[in-house]
């Protein structure tokens, strides 16, 4: 007798029997990743108020989450558009109705450049840009323009020695801007990335140098306004400090993407709001829920959460709560700081060490983790569930990686 195929659901989905709305632990196939609706709303409002207060534009980096619904929420709150890291990501944003897009990266692929250069023929109101840092990039951009009879709008990227992409000196930046302009590309201004620098002082000095380049190439930028774009979530206060004396016709476009969901590690330690609390604060929105499957020896427990489910590149997860018994009726237990720690992750296993003051862990309990570095957790999930503060699922969003 043939065997009927099983019903296949996306990772983290609930049983079809689960009612809507429902508690996160009702009929869940753990592990699941969740977002707190209250934290998303708070962080969105705080960041938009911050950029408005300092006269900046905001294009949050969509590569953090690749969830068009989250990007739409930020645009509804006042964001200019979105930032992405690749043409494929730009296509996702475009197909979901976002037509103001900055590709904060060099694009050399002919097909990708042709797509970028053709956007204004599809929507005359679109504003789609990418970066350039080489004469090869200029030549590829010109060829793409000619191939589609379009316009490629570019920012000259200014980097720093040992850093990521971008020309390495102001002189190179000015020379490349002149070449791009003379070749027929639409020069819109300059860009940079301060996030790879070791601290806020170094970032401030670097951004000031990029601002000087923006002023030097301003005569090559057509139209009434030029653009300077900067991008990280760790030192954006340095950007604000460095561009305070900018001219009125220069727009500063901030790209900070991790600010929407924040974290319990990398960005919690580095957020500008920690240095300037009067400006606001961010809340960690991401949680990953997993079930204890084994407690084979004293002080050691295993949770069915691993490298395939949670980020680990900028620090291991942290234990935020334990739900004894792992049911919706279980009251949360918050361990004292350091009492329960993640010591290691395998592909599908999390090693938990328990110390003084730790709650007793039993197979079947549920552990709720906070994460470090949100950019490398979203890509592990096709569905992410948004929770109210009572742990009720209020909506499910899709990611497009």
Tens-place pLDDT, residues 279-333: 999 999 999 999 999 999 999 999 999 999 999 999 999 999 999 999 999 999 9
Any domain includes 12 = no
Any domain includes 8 = no
- pLDDT value, residue 16: 61
Give the integer Cα–Cα distance in Å for 262 and 268: 7
How many domains, in total, are found in the chain? 2
In this structure, the answer to whether residues 132 and 190 fall within a common structural domain is yes
Any domain includes 178 = yes
Give the integer Cα–Cα distance in Å for 137 and 133: 7
Q: Which domain holds residue 315?
A: 22-35+282-398
Any domain includes 2 = no
116 DSSP 8-state letter: H
In this structure, the answer to whether residues 228 and 117 fall within a common structural domain is yes
Any domain includes 274 = no
Among 264, 294, 314, the domain boundary falls at 264
In this structure, the answer to whether residues 239 and 219 fall within a common structural domain is yes
Any domain includes 100 = yes
In this structure, the answer to whether residues 221 and 357 fall within a common structural domain is no
In this structure, the answer to whether residues 210 and 249 fall within a common structural domain is yes
Give the integer Cα–Cα distance in Å for 385 and 369: 15
**Buried/exposed code over 239-248 (b: 16+ C-beta within 10 A; e: otherwise):** bbbbbeebee
pLDDT (tens, 9 = 90+) of the chain, 401 residues, equals 444 444 556 777 766 666 668 999 998 899 999 999 999 999 999 999 999 999 999 999 999 999 999 999 999 999 999 999 999 999 999 999 999 999 999 999 999 999 999 999 999 999 999 999 999 999 999 999 999 999 999 999 999 999 999 999 999 999 999 999 999 999 999 999 999 999 999 999 999 999 999 999 999 999 999 999 998 999 999 999 999 999 999 999 999 999 999 999 999 999 999 999 999 999 999 999 999 999 999 999 999 999 999 999 999 999 999 999 999 999 999 999 999 999 999 999 999 999 999 999 999 999 999 999 999 999 999 999 999 999 999 999 999 99
Among 264, 298, 327, the domain boundary falls at 264
In this structure, the answer to whether residues 200 and 314 fall within a common structural domain is no
Among 231, 264, 297, the domain boundary falls at 264
Any domain includes 272 = no
Residues written for the chain: 401
Any domain includes 15 = no
192 closest CA partner among 220, 173, 179: 173
- Beta strand extents in 11-149 (DSSP E only): 22-23, 32-36, 57-58, 82-84, 100-106, 127-132
In this structure, the answer to whether residues 333 and 345 fall within a common structural domain is yes
In this structure, the answer to whether residues 240 and 298 fall within a common structural domain is no
Give the integer Cα–Cα distance in Å for 258 and 353: 29
CATH code, domain carrying 198: 3.20.20.10
């Amino acid at each position: 007798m043939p065997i009927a195929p099983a019903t296949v659901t996306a990772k983290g989905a609930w049983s079809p029997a689960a009612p809507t709305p429902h508690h996160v632990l009702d009929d869940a196939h753990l592990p699941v990743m969740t977002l707190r609706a209250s934290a998303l709303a708070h962080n969105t409002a705080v960041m938009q108020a911050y950029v408005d207060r300092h006269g900046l534009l905001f294009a949050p980096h969509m590569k953090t989450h690749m969830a068009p619904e989250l990007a739409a929420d930020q645009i509804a709150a006042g964001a200019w558009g979105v930032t992405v890291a690749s043409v494929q990501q730009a296509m996702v944003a475009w197909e979901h109705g976002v037509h103001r897009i900055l590709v904060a990266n060099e694009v050399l692929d002919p097909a990708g450049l042709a797509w970028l250069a053709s956007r204004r023929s599809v929507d005359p109101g679109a504003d789609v840009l990418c970066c350039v840092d080489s004469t090869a990039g200029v030549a590829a951009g010109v060829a793409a323009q000619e191939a589609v009879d379009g316009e490629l709008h570019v920012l000259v990227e200014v980097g720093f020695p040992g850093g990521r992409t971008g020309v390495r000196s102001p002189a190179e930046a000015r020379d490349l801007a002149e070449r791009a302009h003379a070749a027929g590309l639409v020069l819109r201004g300059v860009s940079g990335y301060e996030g790879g620098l070791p601290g806020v002082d170094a970032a401030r000095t670097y951004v000031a140098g990029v601002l000087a380049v923006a002023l030097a190439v301003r005569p090559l930028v057509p139209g009434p306004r030029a653009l300077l774009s900067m991008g990280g979530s760790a030192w954006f206060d340095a950007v604000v400090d460095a561009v305070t004396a900018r001219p009125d016709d220069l727009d500063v476009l901030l790209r900070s993407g991790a600010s929407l969901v924040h974290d319990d590690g990398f960005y919690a330690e580095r957020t500008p709001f920690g240095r300037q609390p009067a400006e606001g604060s961010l809340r960690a929105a991401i949680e990953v829920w997993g079930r204890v499957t084994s407690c084979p020896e004293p002080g050691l427990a295993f949770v069915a959460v691993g490298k395939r489910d949670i980020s680990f590149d900028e620090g291991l997860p942290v234990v935020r709560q334990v739900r004894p018994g792992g049911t919706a009726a279980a009251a949360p237990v918050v361990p004292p700081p350091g009492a329960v720690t993640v010591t290691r992750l395998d592909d599908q296993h999390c090693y938990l060490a328990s110390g003084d003051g730790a709650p007793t862990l039993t197979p079947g309990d549920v552990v709720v983790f906070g994460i470090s570095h949100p950019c490398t957790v979203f890509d592990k999930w096709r569905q992410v569930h948004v929770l109210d503060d009572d742990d009720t699922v209020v909506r499910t969003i899709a990611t497009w990686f």
